[in-house]
């Protein structure tokens, strides 16, 4: 399948490219381009991809809060451009979205049919992207929501270890709950999904959920720093530009019905640390 990946240089884009190439997808060479520029519409459509995996996004939650106009330009109107291009060349589209389309006030993990209600500019811009894509593509659209991605770069595990080494102790919130998700596992799930040709909304995260505090504890253990003291704090004690949904784990119902399930987050995190050791 002729496939184009926006944001291919990012951590998720790289993981998806690796998995799809291993599964004999034909990955098109598409140079880095600003998705919010309408000129991307003909640039994509003239390549005639059969599938576009749209990973390009502004994902810095606090950055989106500081500059909501940029967040909407990239995450909403950029997605509109990509969806328009898919419509022009009759390509399927995978849109990567987020658990932050929900307000985090649920008493259970969010299912695919739960009503979104974002509480910050990042979540609002990504929800608008979902709506833009659905407006253009009445068929051929996969919306894949995920959460707490890691798999390369300076993400939560790396930040925790760096802070532990620098300060010798940590303060981490206990009342923000979600699903840590390994980019490689998400990429495998996306590859399995597009083979089904079953369009719709999907929640793909590693199974189970935890607080940021519990996540940090496991990172320290796997990183050989479980002697570093870690103090639990609340979101109210942690000052940041953006509000975050306090309890927003996702439940994989639609994907599981197709036989697509991701391993528990603890197993995935251990595999990630093992892969990093293998790279040394």
**What kind and span of H or E run contains 134?**
helix 121-136
Q: What is the pLDDT of residue 71?
A: 97
**What kind and span of H or E run contains 4?**
strand 2-6
One-character DSSP codes across 41-97: HHHHHTT--SEEEE------HHHHHH-HHHHHIIIIIHHHHHHHHHHHHT-EEEEEE
Span 226-245, pLDDT tens digits: 999 999 999 999 989 999 99
Nearest to 26 by CA among 7, 42, 49: 49
* Cβ count within 10 A of residue 63: 16
- Residue 89 reports pLDDT greater than 90: yes
Span 136-182, pLDDT tens digits: 998 999 999 999 999 988 899 999 999 999 999 999 999 999 999 99
Query: Which residues have C-beta within 8 Å of that of residue 17, sequence separation ≥ 6?
Result: 5, 8, 27
d(CA 139, CA 258): 18
Name the residue ranges covered by the structural domains of the chain.
2-153+179-209+248-263
Tell me which fold the domain 2-153+179-209+248-263 belongs to: Rossmann fold (3.40.50)
Phi and psi at 94, nearest 5°, equal: -105, 120
Annotated active-site positions, please?
122
Span 21-64, pLDDT tens digits: 999 999 998 878 889 999 999 999 999 999 999 999 999 999 99
Span 181-232, pLDDT tens digits: 999 999 999 999 999 999 999 999 999 999 999 999 999 999 999 999 999 9
pTM for the model stands at 0.95
């Amino acid at each position: 399948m002729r496939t184009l990946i926006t944001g291919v240089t990012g951590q998720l884009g790289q993981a998806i490219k690796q998995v799809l190439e291993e599964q004999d997808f034909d990955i098109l060479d598409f140079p880095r381009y600003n998705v919010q520029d309408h000129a991307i519409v003909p640039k994509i459509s003239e390549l005639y991809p059969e599938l576009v995996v749209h990973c390009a996004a502004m994902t810095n939650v606090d950055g989106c809060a500081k500059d909501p106009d940029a967040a909407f330009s990239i995450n909403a109107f950029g997605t509109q451009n990509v969806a328009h291009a898919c419509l022009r060349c009759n390509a399927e589209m995978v849109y990567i979205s987020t658990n932050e389309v929900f307000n985090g006030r649920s008493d259970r993990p969010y299912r695919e049919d739960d009503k979104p209600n974002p509480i910050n500019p990042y979540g609002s811009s990504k929800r608008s992207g979902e709506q833009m894509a659905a407006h253009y593509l009445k068929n051929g659209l996969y919306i894949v929501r995920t959460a707490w991605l890691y798999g390369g770069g300076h993400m939560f595990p790396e930040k925790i270890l760096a802070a532990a080494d620098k300060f010798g102790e940590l303060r981490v919130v206990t009342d923000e709950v979600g699903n840590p998700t390994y980019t490689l596992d998400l990429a495998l799930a996306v590859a399995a999904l597009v083979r089904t040709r079953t369009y719709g909304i999907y929640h793909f995260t590693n199974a189970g959920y935890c607080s940021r505090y519990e996540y940090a504890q496991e990172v320290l253990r796997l990183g050989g720093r479980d002697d570093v003291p870690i103090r639990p704090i609340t979101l109210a004690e942690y000052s940041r530009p953006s509000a975050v949904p306090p309890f927003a784990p996702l439940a994989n119902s639609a994907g599981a019905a197709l036989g697509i399930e991701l391993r528990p987050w603890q197993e995935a995190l251990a595999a990630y640390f093992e892969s990093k050791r293998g790279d040394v």
